[in-house]
Amino acid sequence: MIRKMTLSATITAALFFAAPAHAQDMTTLQNDLNAKYKSGTVLVIQKNGITGEAPNNLAPPCPSTWRDNALHAANGMCTLVEKNYSKALATGDKVNPTSVVIHAKDEKVTVNFTECDSCNGGDASSYRGTVTFVFPKGYLEGGADAGQIADVISQVLAPPDPNADQNQQQQGGQQQQGGDQQQAQQPQQQAPAQPPAPPASIQLGQTVDQVTASFGPPEKIVNLGTKQIYVYKDLKVTFVNGKVTDVQ
Q: Please indicate, yes or no, whether residues 154 and 94 belong to a single structural domain of this protein.
A: yes
Which ranges in 154-215 belong to alpha helices (H)? 164-190, 208-215
% of the chain beyond a pLDDT of 70: 75
Q: Are residues 26 and 101 in the same domain?
A: yes
Mark whether 147 and 236 lie in a shared domain.
no
Domain that holds residue 34: 15-162
- Shared-domain flag, residues 22 and 88: yes
pTM: 0.58
Beta strands in the chain (DSSP E): 43-45, 50-53, 64-67, 70-72, 86-89, 94-103, 108-115, 128-134, 157-158, 220-224, 227-231, 236-240, 243-247
Q: Name the pLDDT band for 234 (thresholds 50, 70, 90).
A: confident
Same domain assignment for residues 151 and 229: no
97 belongs to a structural domain: yes
Average pLDDT (210-222) is: 88
Single residue among 95, 130, 162 that ends a domain in this structure: 162
At residue 1, the pLDDT reads 45
Same domain assignment for residues 47 and 120 = yes
Between 36-50, 58-72, 87-101, 119-133, the lowest mean confidence (pLDDT) is in 119-133
Radius of gyration of the chain (CA): 43
- Residue finishing a domain among 103, 133, 162: 162
Residues 141 and 223 in one domain: no
Flag the least confident range among 5-14, 71-80, 169-178. 5-14
> Which of 52, 43, 37 minimizes the C-alpha distance to 129?
52
User: Who's near 134: CB < 8 A, 6+ residues apart?
Assistant: 65, 66, 67, 106, 107, 108
Q: What is the mean pLDDT of the segment spanning 199-206?
A: 83
**Rounded CA separation 59/120 (Å):** 25
Last residue of a domain, one of 132, 162, 192: 162
Q: In what order do the strands lie in the sheet with 220-224?
A: 220-224, 227-231, 236-240, 243-247
Q: How confident is the model at residue 16 (pLDDT cuts 50, 70, 90)?
A: very low
- Domain total of the chain: 2
Residue 9 has pLDDT above 50, yes or no: no
